[in-house]
Amino acid sequence: MKNNNNKVPKLAHLFFRWYCKKEMYEELHGDLEEFFYERVKDKGPFKARLLYIWDVIRCCQSYAVRKPKTQNTTIMMLNNYFKTSTRSLLKNPLTSFINIFGLAVAIGICLTVYAFMDFEYKIDQFHANKGQVYLTTFYTNRDGSIERYGMSPAPLGELLSTDFPQIQKVCRVEESNVVVKYEDEVFHETLTYVDPSFLEMFTFPLGKGVNKSLNDLNSIILSHDMAIKYFGDDNVLGKDLEVIFSDSNKKVFKVAGVAEPFPKPHDLGFNFLIHFDNLDYARPTNDLSNWDQFITATFIQVNDPNQIAGLEEGMEKYKLLQNEKNSDWAIESFSLEPFVTLYANSAEIRKAIVYNGSAEGRIALPIIAIFMLGLACFNYINISIVSAAKRLKEIGVRKVIGASKNKIAFQFLFENIFVTLFALVLGLLLAVFMFLPWFIGISERSMELNFFNPELWIFLSIVLVFTGVVSGLYPAFYISKFNVIRIFRGSVHFGKKNPLTKLFLGFQLIMASILMTGAVMLTQNSNFQAKRTWGYDPNNVLYVELPDSSAFNRLEAQLIQNTNVVSVAGAIHHLGNNHTTTVIHQPDRKYEVDRLSVGPKYFETMGLQLKAGRFFKDHSENDHAAIVVNELFVENLNLSQPIGHVFEIDSMRYEVVGVVENFHLYNFYYEVLPTIFSLAETTDYKFMAIEVKSGAQPITYATLKKDWAVLFPEIPFQGDFQTRLWDNFYKDLQTQKTFSTTIATIAILLASLGLYGLVMLNVSGRVREFSIRKVFGAETKNIIKSVTNQYVLLTVISMIIGAPISYVLNKALIGMMFPETMQADYFGAFIAVFIIVSVLLTVVSTQIFRVVKSNPVDGLKME
């Protein structure tokens, strides 16, 4: 034992022998041993051994370590590929930059789109029971076309739970706007009435309180945001909130729970939850067992999704009940929409509780991303083919030494993936620090790239391999095919006249022209939409929402004294805010129209234009059976003599007394629909429209708010300039403009980078030729011709193909977004082509300039 303790530790010694240079072993280990023996004496063997191990580790540094001699040829080859790749990248910094930067931008865009799509597909997918929850929907015939609706007849929920044992849970949902009061503060809020099963069906965990409290009619559950809004960080549970359903209906609720913050990708959510039966209290006149009442949604939960088909069949019997009672909403069939797909399909379901507003984005963005990646890949292919000319000798030598064709191809693929890796890292940085924040800013979605999510890494590696292989495969095989003897004889000619290079460049130009045309046309369209008229005059109108039946008269009395006020009108529905739909009965068909109930002075106040007949008369009892219709209504129903025509609505007879010019009820995303106006009772007014003298809007608005505060201290003021209703719409237009212009700019940037690289390589490869031409007296224009020749024809052909394609595609896209678009003409495509051609000319001319300016002597002296 003792003997052993006085020797250096074996393992550490072996390790030292293994890494240490042979010629230095003696002196170095001598030093270590000397220390060791001394320490054995001074500090004891145990400490000495530990310290020796420590020394061995410390000595493992470059001066002592022998250089590795690897035996593995694959690794050696990879090392060599790596070295040559780095060298050739560094040798041509500009082309390398074009390649890497182009790919990085494209990958950055791909990642941003990935974040968007990832967010989109995660919306509402966090609910534990999502696979078992379904929304009841129904189909109904709207003047010949079958439409699907997401709302549900009020009695449906109760019947479903009693009639079908296979349904585990039913949850009815109704939403309404109320005023919520806490101490002295009042706010307008959206309130959700739900069956207590709501919190079991959907995964909205409560941070405070228990799910069961929803059974209590006097309990209210708040979302996280609402708890903060009303109570800040205070303890919330047990606090009283007063809900004002209407002026005569108020109820105090106790806060019984606060939900955890909702996951970011959600569409279904709530601000305030109360028990569904509170609806009886809030709307005493409504009978929820009546089939002509609709509620926002009815959800069901089943154990076994296979039962759905049977359920849908079983629900057929409700059709009769509904159709008997409410023939305007005659149901063709019921259908159950899985909650999992509800958000994705919600654009197809009318009046569904969940609404997907980004259907276009889901289609357009991935296409844009693929376009961009395509552009960058084509750049890469072109540049690597042409720049291979500079590496012919290397390829030749490799082949002579014995590299097979596959080895060479592998080398170039490897190099390519190496470059792509660079681009990937750069693209990731671009996405995280530039594209994503910008895109979040314009789309107002809080998406993110979650780096702990394995899916992201899978996506990244797919992008890496896909981009690397797609952009590298062709050049790799093209280059590896060259014949060695011809390489060394110098008779390999390529790059200049490769048809594929041209084809790829052509593709790039076409893509760029599609995106550019899109940008130009969207900009044109925005300008067009911004200049459109609304069919009435919103500029001088203010509006305000009324809390109760006496409010109109009280406020009117106040406003009449104001000299800035031109006229005041009341209405149940207000342009830009809301409407209802109703069904017109004719002998042979039923016809759905939009309906607005307004006071007699509403037309003049809003500036609606009369085309024929008259508006409603003031204080005329007869006019309660009169309607005013818009032009489209007349047109669609083919009325040759509209005035005096009689229709049946809700089993009452109405006579058309007037026709107004078509007007836009909402912003221009919505098309003009056939619309009727009927006369509203003063006590039913929900809105007041106020026409003021031009220029007096802000001051009247301020006075109005002041008057309001005096008249209705309990009710928060809710009104605005009529024109502000479209602030969001105009912002949206602006966003489209910026977005498409940015994308198009990047596309042109990529295409021109590619072209620049090509022209530059082409010109550098022909320096001698140009010099000789110059020496023999070639004129500038001849040289320009010989540089540009091959590109002119290509550009012309690409544009001839590209312009019509861009025109058609973009017209379709804009047509998808706006029902009524500008008179689209070729002008947009023409401008786009013009922009592209001028950018290309600029790019090519920089190289021409170089050739023209160069001294032929320098060109001939080379090599």
Least distance between another protein and beta carbon 27 (Å): 4
On whether the CB atoms of residues 427 and 106 are closer than 8 A, the answer is: yes
Q: How many residues at the interface with another protein, by CB under 8 A?
A: 17
On whether the CB atoms of residues 198 and 171 are closer than 8 A, the answer is: yes
Task: Return the structure tokens found at 679.
Answer: 């006369």
Nearer to another protein, 3 or 289 (CB): 3
Least distance between another protein and beta carbon 30 (Å): 3
**In the set 5, 17, 34, 589, which binds another protein (CB under 8 A)?**
34
Q: Mask: binding to another protein, 493-532, rule CB under 8 A, as x and -?
A: ----------------------------------------
**In the set 2, 10, 22, 58, which binds another protein (CB under 8 A)?**
58
* Residue 53 in contact with another protein, rule: CB under 8 A: no
* Residue 26 in contact with another protein, rule: CB under 8 A: yes
Least distance between another protein and beta carbon 4 (Å): 15
Q: Tell me the window of 31-39, 214-222, 448-456, 698-706 that interacts with another protein (CB under 8 A).
A: 31-39
**In the set 10, 27, 306, 401, which binds another protein (CB under 8 A)?**
27
Report H helices in 20-92. Answer: 22-43, 45-59, 73-91
HSE (side-chain half, CA atoms, 13 Å) at 797: 12
Q: How far is CA 298 from the centre of its chain?
A: 29
Least distance between another protein and beta carbon 8 (Å): 8
User: Collapsing DSSP states into helix, strand and coil, what is residue 190?
Assistant: strand
Which of 169, 139, 175, 140 shows the shortest CA–CA distance to 157?
A: 169
What are the counts of helices (DSSP H) followed by strands (DSSP E) for the chain? Answer: 29, 24
Task: Return the structure tokens found at 777.
Answer: 């007296």
Please name the amino acid found at residue 181.
K
d(CA 625, CA 643): 13
Q: Mask: binding to another protein, 120-159, rule CB under 8 A, as x and -?
A: ----------------------------------------
Q: Tell me the window of 53-61, 257-265, 463-471, 601-609 that interacts with another protein (CB under 8 A).
A: 53-61
User: Collapsing DSSP states into helix, strand and coil, what is residue 258?
Assistant: strand
* Residue 3 in contact with another protein, rule: CB under 8 A: no
Q: Tell me the window of 29-37, 395-403, 668-676, 792-800 that interacts with another protein (CB under 8 A).
A: 29-37
* Residue 50 in contact with another protein, rule: CB under 8 A: no
Least distance between another protein and beta carbon 832 (Å): 59
* Residue 640 in contact with another protein, rule: CB under 8 A: no
On whether the CB atoms of residues 236 and 257 are closer than 8 A, the answer is: no
**In the set 6, 15, 19, 35, which binds another protein (CB under 8 A)?**
35
Residue 73: count of CB within 10 angstroms of its CB? 8
Which of 241, 158, 156, 260 shows the shortest CA–CA distance to 199?
A: 260
* Residue that is written with structure tokens 């593995």 in the block: 72
On whether the CB atoms of residues 236 and 208 are closer than 8 A, the answer is: yes
Four-CA torsion 209, 213, 219, 220, nearest 10 degrees: 50
* Residue 619 in contact with another protein, rule: CB under 8 A: no
**In the set 30, 44, 804, 819, which binds another protein (CB under 8 A)?**
30
Please name the amino acid found at residue 499.
P
Q: Tell me the window of 33-41, 142-150, 349-357, 660-668 that interacts with another protein (CB under 8 A).
A: 33-41
Least distance between another protein and beta carbon 44 (Å): 18
Least distance between another protein and beta carbon 69 (Å): 21
Nearer to another protein, 17 or 493 (CB): 17
What Rg value do the Cα atoms of the chain yield, rounded? 38
Least distance between another protein and beta carbon 20 (Å): 11
Residue 721: count of CB within 10 angstroms of its CB? 18
Nearer to another protein, 66 or 83 (CB): 66
Report H helices in 331-404. Answer: 339-345, 359-387, 392-401
**In the set 53, 64, 359, 503, which binds another protein (CB under 8 A)?**
64
- The most distant pair of C-alpha atoms in the chain lies apart, rounded to whole Å, by 124
Task: Return the structure tokens found at 64.
Answer: 């002592």
* Residue 59 in contact with another protein, rule: CB under 8 A: yes
**In the set 61, 248, 491, 638, which binds another protein (CB under 8 A)?**
61
d(CA 173, CA 164): 19
**In the set 19, 33, 147, 567, which binds another protein (CB under 8 A)?**
33
Nearer to another protein, 61 or 235 (CB): 61
DSSP state of 260: P
Please name the amino acid found at residue 400.
V
Q: Tell me the window of 21-29, 67-75, 274-282, 550-558 that interacts with another protein (CB under 8 A).
A: 21-29
What are the residues facing 626 on neighbouring strands?
Answer: 655
* Residue 28 in contact with another protein, rule: CB under 8 A: yes
475 exposure class (CB count in 10 Å sphere: 0-12, 13-18, 19+): buried
Least distance between another protein and beta carbon 26 (Å): 5
Residue 705: count of CB within 10 angstroms of its CB? 12
* Residue 29 in contact with another protein, rule: CB under 8 A: yes
H/E element, 75: helix 73-91
Least distance between another protein and beta carbon 64 (Å): 7
| DSSP code per residue over 384-453 | HHHHGGGGHHHHHHHHHHT--HHHHHHHHHHHHHHHHHHHHHHHHHHIIIIIHHHHHHHH-------TT-
Least distance between another protein and beta carbon 37 (Å): 6
109 exposure class (CB count in 10 Å sphere: 0-12, 13-18, 19+): buried
* Residue 37 in contact with another protein, rule: CB under 8 A: yes
**In the set 4, 18, 63, 232, which binds another protein (CB under 8 A)?**
63
* Residue 16 in contact with another protein, rule: CB under 8 A: no
Nearer to another protein, 38 or 858 (CB): 38
Least distance between another protein and beta carbon 54 (Å): 8
Nearer to another protein, 54 or 826 (CB): 54
| HEC profile of 532-546 | CCCCCCCCCEEEEEC
- What lies within 8 Å, CB to CB, of 702 at 6+ separation is none
* Residue 31 in contact with another protein, rule: CB under 8 A: yes
| DSSP code per residue over 639-662 | -SS-TT-EEEETTEEEEEEEEE--
* Residue 313 in contact with another protein, rule: CB under 8 A: no
Least distance between another protein and beta carbon 5 (Å): 15
Nearer to another protein, 29 or 664 (CB): 29
Least distance between another protein and beta carbon 28 (Å): 7
Nearer to another protein, 64 or 643 (CB): 64
Nearer to another protein, 16 or 380 (CB): 16
Please name the amino acid found at residue 615.
F
* Residue 32 in contact with another protein, rule: CB under 8 A: yes
On whether the CB atoms of residues 103 and 427 are closer than 8 A, the answer is: yes
Task: Return the structure tokens found at 196.
Answer: 């207590």
Nearer to another protein, 22 or 619 (CB): 22
* Residue 321 in contact with another protein, rule: CB under 8 A: no
Q: Tell me the window of 54-62, 259-267, 628-636, 670-678 that interacts with another protein (CB under 8 A).
A: 54-62
Q: Tell me the window of 55-63, 331-339, 436-444, 463-471 that interacts with another protein (CB under 8 A).
A: 55-63
Binding site for another protein (CB under 8 A): 26-35, 37, 55, 58-59, 61, 63-64
